[in-house]
Amino acid sequence: MKKSIEEQVKLLLGAKGEARGIHFKNDAQYIVAEKGKDGLKKVEAQLKEWGVPLLYNKMRNLHFYPIGWRSLSLLAAEKALGWEEKNIRNMCVFASSASLIIKIYSKFFYSVDKFLEQAPKLWEEYFTVGKLVIREHSESEKYVIIDIKEFDLDDVYRPCLESFIERAGQTIIKGKDHKCEVVECSPKENNCHGFRLSWK
């Protein structure tokens, strides 16, 4: 049964862990580009209504903020701007392109193996909770399966993460038609979320 928005907000505000300010800065950049400064104000107003003191311009890229705010930022954009999942996905594609952390890690992009070796660290750059594990990787079959473990992934953030991984794949792995889809974790674990990135 789908939770009410109030319940979702409450749950998110109580989530444990922290997320890097870069998430919010990228969200703000995209909202301003698409809807202008007024759009951003609407989102901030929505967050304020939910009791979230999130002010995008005062946040810093590399500082840590409550992890629940990550999803609340997306939820507020959906609500205040009438956005759908498609818009949220685009915003996360943009986040992947504009992310300072991705830029820092771009020095490992010269080799897929090298990058995948560094990928768990990359996750840690973004969140203080959860971990990223490369479950499978095949250059010949052109896919990689990534597991995000010990992480409460809600329905708002899941498509965002999917798009983020897809764009990161496009950036790092030479090929075309990169596609990221949710797969089950094996063995099945609580709070484990699998993503399969494939390309041609």
Partner 1 sequence: MEKELERENRKSLTLLRDLDALEDYAHDLFVFSPLSICFISPSGIFLETNPAFENLSNYSSNEIVGKSIETFFEKEKIGLLLEKLLTQDIAKSVEIKIFPKDKKSALAQIFVSVRRNEQGSKIGFFFGIFDLSEIKQTEKELKRTQTALLNILEDTEREREKAEEEKRKTQAIIVNFTDGLLVFDNQNRLTSMNLQAEKLLNVKSKKLIGKSIIELSKIPKTEMLVKQLKGDVKIFRQEFKINKELTLEFSTVLLETEEQNTGFLIVLHDVTREKIIERLKTEFVSISAHQLRTPLSAIKWTLKMLLDGDLGGITTEQEEFLQRTYRSNERMIKLVNSLLDVSRIEEGRFMYKPVLHDFTSMVETFVGNYKDEAKRRKINLKFIKPKKKLPKVLIDREKIGLALQNLLDNALKYTLGGGNVTVSLKKVGQEIEFKIKDTGIGIPKFQHERVFKKFFRSEGAIRLETEGSGLGLFIVKNVVEAHGGKIRFESNVNEGSTFWFTLPIKVSL
Convert residues 55-84 into a mask of x (bound to partner 1 by CB under 8 A) and - (unbound).
-----xxxx---------------------
Among 37, 48, 86, 107, binds partner 1 (CB under 8 A): 107
Among 81, 98, 183, 185, binds partner 1 (CB under 8 A): 98
Rounded Cα distance between 198 and 142, Å, is: 6
Q: Is 146 in the site for partner 1 (CB under 8 A)?
A: no
Among 41, 79, 81, 109, binds partner 1 (CB under 8 A): 109
Q: Is 190 in the site for partner 1 (CB under 8 A)?
A: no
Cα atoms in the Cβ-side hemisphere of radius 13 Å centred on 62: 4
Rounded Cα distance between 178 and 143, Å, is: 9
Among 108, 151, 157, 195, binds partner 1 (CB under 8 A): 108
| Cβ atoms of 21 and 60 closer than 8 Å | yes
| Cβ atoms of 72 and 13 closer than 8 Å | yes
Write out the two tokens for 45: 């107003």
Among 23, 42, 70, 167, binds partner 1 (CB under 8 A): 167
**Is there a cis peptide before residue 187, judged by omega within 30 degrees of 0?**
yes
Rg (CA), the chain: 17
Minimum CB separation from partner 1 for residue 69, in Å? 18
Minimum CB separation from partner 1 for residue 80, in Å? 22
